[in-house]
Each structure stands twice: as structure tokens, then as C-alpha cells.
Amino acid sequence: MYPIEQVEALNPEVTRMVVRAPEIAKKIKPGQFIMLRIDEQGERIPLTMNDCDPEAGTITIIFQAVGATTMRLAQMKAGDALQDFAGPLGNPTELEGAKRACVIGGGLGTAIAFPQAKWLYDHGCEVDVITGFRNKDLVLLEDEINQHSTRQIIMTDDGSNGNKGLVTQALQQRIDEGADYDLVLAVGPVIMMKFVAATTKPYGIKTYVSMNPLMIDGTGMCGGCRVKVGDEYLHACVDGPDFDGHLVDFDDAMRRGVMYRSFEAEAREGRSCGAHAGDERKGA
């Protein structure tokens, strides 16, 4: 069992949870994820690390209650325990050597992208962090990002915090201003990542996107997390979750995602089919 040490609501939709998992905390790196299960009857869901403390032996996860399991998870309290908390899974984000980076988070993707921004900044990289939200009430980690970035740009749909507009508008503006990025990382809804990649492609900027398709076991056995990258299908859980954004077939990813939305709706109504469409990881 894995004890829950802290639970905090960051906004009406998003919860931060600190879980004691000493062995995972020693090994996990930015970009990797865990598979958790609340109890023996529960489904396994993937959640990406937001932070870790190897000395304290804890992992921090941030999630949005959009599916049956995360709705249950959001009701848990400090002192409760999780049945399974397996990891680290997936590959760490390739960050070595970057000198000028732009990390882009859409909605809950901001929490998932934060470890990469923090690592880059702490290792001497100039880091712009661009985040996008529907409104000011949903903005995440503003103070933490200020502490671990060279520049933070917040975009909201209604202009209630930061600038009004899309993250791609802010990215294009920074490029037009002369920002000479050697790395762009985007985490968030698939449609957002698609247009981030389209923005950087004409400039030849290395661009990683973090994909979150259907994932059941986290080891590649189920085959549900296939992502078309170039001319081949790769598994997000073992080959990713980060892929070259200029090679990912985003339209294929969106079509596959739509296939599983009815399953998630059934699960919320108490008729779980055991398939998890990945939405808990990013709140797409």
C-alpha cells in the first residue's frame, strides 16, 4: 500500500496529491509516469509525475477529475492509501544540451510540463513557459513556474489572467521577437499540440509532444496506446510518451481518442469497461 500524505484542491477541477513511494522517488525523471490503482477492484490509470522528493520519498501527482477513477481519487484524504503505485514508466524527456527552450502547457498539461521546465531552468537553460487556460480560476502553478523559468506567459480564453488568446499566438510572437529556441516541448490537448508543432515546423525547431492515448497496462501488452509517428505505430507507454511533434499523426490520434469517449462515460455512470482513455493524465 502507498500512503497518501497530502491532498490539496488547486481549483474546482484539479487536485494535487502527495504519495509516499520511496523507491519510485529515487528513480523517476521528468516526463515519466506511474500507473495507480485505488483498490483491488479498481482500474489502473496513468498519471504523470508533477514533482518528486527523493529525500522525503514522495511523488506529487496533479490530476483532473474527469473519469470515474479520478473522481474517486479526488475524494481521498491524507492518511488513506493506494493499492498500487507502479513506476517509473515511459521514457524521460530528452532535455540534455538544451540552451534556450520553450515549454508549453495547455490546461492540466501545465502540471505535467512543469518538471521539464524546472529541470531545464535548474540546469542553466533559458526557459520560456507559455500556459493556456479557459479563465483565471483555472490557472495552475503560477508561482512555481515564476520560480523556475526565465519568462512566464499566461494565455486565457477570456483574457481574465495574462493575455487573451492561444498559446500558439504567444509562441509565434516570441519567435517573431527573435527567440532562438533549440527545443520546444508541448503538453496538453492533442489539438493544441498539433498546432504548436505546425508553428515550429517552418523554423526547424526540435519539438516534442507528450501523447496520452488509451492506456491499460503501461507496458505495451494491450496495444491500446499506439501512436502513428511517421510511417510506423509506436506505443506511448514504452516508446514515449514524448515523440517528435513534426512526425506525429495528430489527426489519427484524435480519431482514436474519440472511439473511447463512450467507454469513459459508461465508467462514470458505474458501468466500467476497464478501458482508460488517458484523459486523467492531461484533462484534454
Residues making up the binding site for FAD: 62-64
Please give the Cα distance from 259 to 256 (Å, whole number).
Answer: 5
Q: Which residues are annotated as a binding site?
A: 62-64, 222, 225, 237
- Measured between alpha carbons, how far is 199 from 231 in angstroms, rounded to an integer? 22
Amino acid at 105: G
Enumerate the β-bridge partners of residue 9.
Answer: 15
Cβ(58)–Cβ(30) below 8 Å: no
Cβ neighbours of residue 141 closer than 8 Å, sequence gap 6 or more: 110, 111, 114
Nearest to 189 by CA among 282, 281, 275: 282
Sequence ranges of the binding site for [2Fe-2S] cluster: 222, 225, 237
CB 254 within 8 A of CB 189: no
